[in-house]
Structure 1
Amino acid sequence: MQTEKVIDHIVNWLKDYANTAKVNGFVIGISGGIDSAVTSILCAKTGLEVLCLEMPIHQPKSHVSRGQEHIKQLKETFGNVKDTLVDLTPVFEQFKTEVTATKDQAIVDMALANTRARLRMTTLYYYAGLHSLLVAGTGNKIEDFGVGFFTKYGDGGVDLSPIADLTKSEIYDLAEVLGVSEAIIKAAPSDGLFGDDRSDEDQIGASYPELEWAMTMSENGKTVHDFEGRKAEVFKLFSKLNRNNQHKMVPIPICKIPKTLK
């Protein structure tokens, strides 16, 4: 991959899109992870206004410290970057007191994890509306179009997706060139939606390199019968997640009414 040319392409695409939309710039949630770090730098390189939001909800200290250090470095490098801290923990706790939980605890925990993501989406759009900004998404190709590892109308609720055509491995390549901190680059990818340090791999059951391989094999027309052992296991997992999460990846289905009924 021609990394520097890819960076220039994305930055120009962001700038053109924002100018066409007649907005001031971008708002982005900073998680302390590599995807939000890379996306925020790309947005900052446009020269347009960039607002970085910290939105902790019982976040692990390691996530918070990495995010804060990244924002600090970003503001030292780019004069067009501002930041705001919005502690959503009290909002989340109040929400929990108003809803019932009659299901299995694992189901409740997943519903609450998705609620965290949706509270953050609401906050991003609040500030986007205040300052005439676009919400910049941080999803990568594997998450958005491979296994659907995102919350519908949570971190999937964005105005534009600058890095969604890049695999995780390619994003690491961009991070090296863009000067993302070693702490973020070396940290295990995590969505941070459960208030602990569980990684994406812990949740999904496969690493990003494995999922990238499976996605490539699937695009090349391979089936699970073409593999054995761990490869067969990963390919089967990828295929299942891709199939089950299609509702996140395709447009909202619309019930078309025949003209004869109108």
Structure 2
Amino acid sequence: MQIDKITHYIINWLKEYAVNAKMDGFVVGVSGGIDSAVTSTLCAKTGLRTLCVEMPIHQAESQVTRAQEHIAQLKKRFANVTDVRVDLTPVFEEFKTEIPPTNDDTYLDLSLANTRARLRMTTLYYFAGLHRYLVCGTGNKVEDFGVGFYTKYGDGGVDLSPIADLLKSEVYKVGKYLEVPQSILEAAPTDGLFGDSRTDEDQIGASYDELEWAMKMQDENKSASDFQGREKVVYELYLKLNRANQHKMNPIPICEIPLNLR
């Protein structure tokens, strides 16, 4: 992997896209994780205005600290970086008081977790509209095209995705090259949507290294019967999630009216 060349390619791609779109910069939600840290740094290195938005909702203190450390570092390194903090906790709590109670709470926690992500998306687009910025996505290849580990119209609601063709391991390599804070490079990946300490691996049931392996096996048209033990478990899990989340990865289906009915 030619990290330096790939990094500069993404930076040029971002700048060219923004200039062609006649937009003035980028807005990025910064969570304290590796993906948002890498994405915001790439945006900053374009030289265009980059707004880092911190949007805590009952966030763990460790995540808040990492996000603030990263933003402070970016502002010190790049004069084009600004930041804003929007505490969405009161908004989220008010939302919960307005929705009707449910008799079946099987999917309540997941629905509320996705609501957090969609409140953040709305906030990012508010600032994007205010400043003529593009909302920059932070999803990597494993999340966006492997297991669909993101919220539809939440963190999946973006204008462009600069790191969506990078595997998680590659994002870490770029992050190291970009001098992302060590605390972020060492932190266990988490979406922070449940207000507890659960990691991405806890939620998915496999590590990103295992998922990257499974993506490679899928590209090679392997079947679950080709494997045993942990590899078989991981591959079956990957295929299950990949199938279940195709509705996120594919374009929105359109009901096309037959010509003879027009």
Which TM class, normalised by the smaller chain length? over 0.9
> Structure 1 CA distance, aligned partners of 2:121 and 2:17?
20
Tell me the residue number matched to 1:73: 73
Q: Do 1:101 and 1:108's aligned partners in 2 also have CA atoms closer than 8 Å?
A: no
Q: Do 1:50 and 1:80's aligned partners in 2 also have CA atoms closer than 8 Å?
A: yes
Correspondence 1:168-179 to 2 at 5 A: 168-179=168-179
- CA deviation vs aligned residue, 1:138-185 (integer Å, no higher than 9, x gap): 000000000000000000000000000000000010011100111000
Question: Shift of residue 102 of structure 1?
Answer: 1.5
In the alignment, residue 174 of structure 1 is paired with which amino acid? Answer: V
Distance 1:71 1:4, change over 3 A: same
Matched, 1:16 2:16: yes
Distance 1:207 1:22, change over 3 A: same
Tell me the residue number matched to 2:53: 53
Tell me the residue number matched to 1:227: 227
Distance 1:124 1:7, change over 3 A: same
> Structure 1 CA distance, aligned partners of 2:104 and 2:141?
32
- Identity of aligned pairs, percent? 67
Tell me the residue number matched to 1:238: 238
**What SS does the aligned partner of 1:83 have?**
strand
Question: Shift of residue 105 of structure 1?
Answer: 3.5
Tell me the residue number matched to 1:212: 212
**What SS does the aligned partner of 1:6 have?**
helix
Unaligned runs of 5+ in 2: none
Would you say how many aligned residue pairs link Structure 1 and Structure 2? 262
Tell me the residue number matched to 1:193: 193
**What SS does the aligned partner of 1:124 have?**
helix
Matched, 1:43 2:66: no
> Structure 2 CA distance, aligned partners of 1:240 and 1:43?
34
**What SS does the aligned partner of 2:107 have?**
helix
> Structure 2 CA distance, aligned partners of 1:173 and 1:87?
31
CA RMSD of aligned residues (A): 0.7
> Structure 2 CA distance, aligned partners of 1:250 and 1:201?
24
**What SS does the aligned partner of 1:196 have?**
coil
In the alignment, residue 39 of structure 2 is paired with which amino acid? Answer: T
Correspondence 1:70-109 to 2 at 5 A: 70-109=70-109
- CA deviation vs aligned residue, 1:100-152 (integer Å, no higher than 9, x gap): 23254341010000000000000000000000000000000000000000000
Distance 1:225 1:161, change over 3 A: same
Q: Do 1:141 and 1:164's aligned partners in 2 also have CA atoms closer than 8 Å?
A: yes
Runs of 4+ with deviation above 3 angstroms: 103-106
> Structure 1 CA distance, aligned partners of 2:153 and 2:107?
18
In the alignment, residue 202 of structure 2 is paired with which amino acid? Answer: D
**What SS does the aligned partner of 1:105 have?**
coil
> Structure 1 CA distance, aligned partners of 2:100 and 2:181?
42
In the alignment, residue 142 of structure 2 is paired with which amino acid? Answer: I
**What SS does the aligned partner of 2:28 have?**
strand
Tell me the residue number matched to 2:249: 249
Distance 1:235 1:103, change over 3 A: farther
Unaligned runs of 5+ in 1: none
